[in-house]
Structure 1
Amino acid sequence: MPYFGSIDGTRLYYDVIGDEDLPPLVVLAGGPARHPEYLGDLAGLSTVRSLVVLHQRGVGRSEPSPEAETACWPELAEDVEALRDALGLERIALLGHSAGTRVALSYAARYPDRTERLCLVTPPATWLVPVPSDAAAIVESHRGEPWFDAFDTARTRFTDALSARDLIDLFPVIAPIGWARWDDTARAHEKIGAWNAEAQDLFSATVDAADLRARLAAVSGDVLVVAGEQDGVTGLAPVVALAEIFPAGRAAVIAGCGHYPWVEQPEEFSRVVREHLA
């Protein structure tokens, strides 16, 4: 079974999707603290890379963290480093989605020489780049759709939620803002991958954004930032701006999708990411 011990002895698990003889791609799910099964095989990336999908502490088959200090997103980078060591790799290719991109960024900042290449899929970025979010305008463009009134009623409760459990209870009403089309495909996908409230409550942390940007500027490997043109969760402008932090960063904007481009636009998502990984 693919378990390994992290730096503090916590027993963590990872899935291997695809041919293990292919070059590995370490994958970090979002949520935060969402079971990574919602990622699937990322629109067929498992045919070009062996996907090594880490289960976050307290999520899926991984043990919870014994101390809160080791479960916040900057410190979860040390689990990625322990996984790299367990895999016997000198450098890793790393892909993160949504909240998982925070962990990926922390890892790249701490271990730039061990980051071969980085792929950040629909990353929340307003906390890191001084670019106003256009998420509200994207959400407003959906006004009049059948789901919008229920969302509009719930959004204040979502903003004022005091715990992850409160947020998770509201996710079904908030979920449509992450999609270009709230259709049967979107509704079915939102049911995949449960959130762990305890791990989610431990995920948050405050960091010095200016210091982190400076350290990310030392990441020399290729960096791809994938943005969904209609992502009401992250907006578009801050996501695109994130790529400018990196010396070898570029942004790919995928039209006709929101927060889950491998679901809404699998062919285009696969094309741009495969090109990056080649």
Structure 2
Amino acid sequence: MPIFVTEDGAALHYDLSGEGKPLITLAGGAGRHPSYLGDLAGLPGQLVIPHLRGVGETPGPSKSYWEQASDLEDLRGHLVLQRLDLVAHSAGTRLAMAYAAQFPDNVASMLLITPPSAHLTDTPSDAAEITAHRRGEPAFEKAMAAYHRRPKTQSDFEAWQADTAAATYALWTEREQAHARVGKTDLATVNAYFGVPAPPDFAQLLSKTDATVRVIAGAQDFTTGLAPVLAAAKLFTNGEVVVIDDCGHYPWVEQPGAFRRAADPFVA
């Protein structure tokens, strides 16, 4: 597994998948093992998938998403790239946007997959409305009962993840259940990742990059809601959004064909 060394001397591992244009691919979680991304339904290009600090093959301690933006800059130097093309999912989009805020001239494009956006916009979440049809479904009701629980230990956190997973997909078939079990997340890494508040001018900083941005949203994404994601896409000078129907938080798993139709032309 290749590694790169950061300015502060840390050795960060990364995976390579596919061939073509390098796409720096950031997992969510936060700090979930990137194995859950798979190959993003065969997304064209070479996926360069860092194991963030404290994740997978990269030892801890972890750092906040804001601090880890400098790691991406070190990766850019290691790969000898003028600008980065970023692909990010969920909490990984916060790291991608932190990089764009701090290094606006070094981003060519960002494909932001189901980005949580409460830190960027005051638009209220419509999660309850877009998933109302699932009320009465046993797995969804179990997820709702657990959703606002705040786990304090790793074992509690793993139980919480298992209990709430059904709400993060539009359907809860064997396919989604199998995917939900892939990729461990450590609570300590999550806490470190969100260890700093979002800068008050985060949204304004994002307007300074001229990167092309495509946001992919799930029409039934309980995790993010839909309205806040649509609002966040408007923060970028060159931003656009594609909404995938019958889809929750993991479009490449739930609707791989629609995901590829939305993503392929953009990354190419």
Count of residues in correspondence between the two structures: 267
Report the Cα offset of residue 150 of structure 1: 2.0
Partner of 1:26: 24
Number of the residue aligned with 2:15? 15
Are positions 1:58 and 2:54 aligned together? yes
SS in 1 for 2:58: coil
Q: Which residue of 1 aligns with 2:74?
A: 82
Q: Deviations over 1:101-141 (max 9, x none)?
A: 00000001111111000111000001211211111223433
Name the CA distance, whole Å, in 1 between partners of 2:120 and 2:169. 23
Structure 2: distance between partners of 1:127 and 1:167: 23
Does residue 276 of the first structure (1) align with residue 266 of the second (2)? yes
Aligned residue for 2:217?
227
1:168 to 158, 161, 167: 158
1:31 partner letter: G
User: Aligned match of 1:145 in 113, 133, 137?
Assistant: 137
2 CA distance for matches of 1:174 and 1:242? 25
Task: Give me the TM-score of the superposition, normalised by structure 2.
Answer: 0.95
> Which whole-Å CA distance do the structure 2 matches of 1:23 and 1:148 have between them?
39
Separation in 2 of the partners of 1:145 and 1:108?
Answer: 40
**CA RMSD of the aligned region, Å?**
1.4
3-state secondary structure, aligned to 1:51: strand
50-59 vs 161-170, which deviates more?
Answer: 161-170
Q: Quick one: distance in 2 between partners of 1:164 and 1:2?
A: 29
The equivalent of 1:132 in structure 2 is: 124
1:199 matched to 2:189: yes
- 2:172 counterpart of 1:182: yes
For each residue in 1:192-250, what CA deviation from the matched residue of structure 2 results, as whole angstroms up to 9, or x when unmatched? 111122212211120223x1111100110110111000000000010111110011000
* Distance in 2 between residues matched to 1:196 and 1:86, nearest whole Å: 27
Deviation string, structure 1 residues 80-115 (Cα, Å, up to 9, x no partner): 111111101111100110000000000011111110
Partners in 2 of 1:153 and 1:241 — Cα distance? 28
Stretches of structure 1 that go unaligned for 5 or more consecutive residues are none
In the alignment, is residue 39 of structure 1 matched against residue 30 of structure 2? no
1:122 aligns with 2:114: yes
Following TM superposition, by how much is the alpha carbon of 1:188 offset from its aligned partner in structure 2, in angstroms?
Answer: 0.3
- Do 2:211 and 2:238's aligned partners in 1 also have CA atoms closer than 8 Å? yes
5+ residue gaps, structure 2, are none
Sequence identity percentage: 42
How far 1:146 moved relative to its partner? Answer: 2.2
Q: Using the alignment, how far apart are the partners of 1:112 and 1:240 within structure 2? A: 22
SS in 2 for 1:74: helix
Tell whether the 8 Å contact from 2:26 to 2:49 is kept in structure 1 after alignment: yes
Amino acid at match of 2:47: L
Aligned mates of 1:18, 1:155 — CA distance in 2: 36
Alpha carbons of 1:249 and 1:265: their partners in 2 closer, same or farther (altered >3 Å)? Answer: same
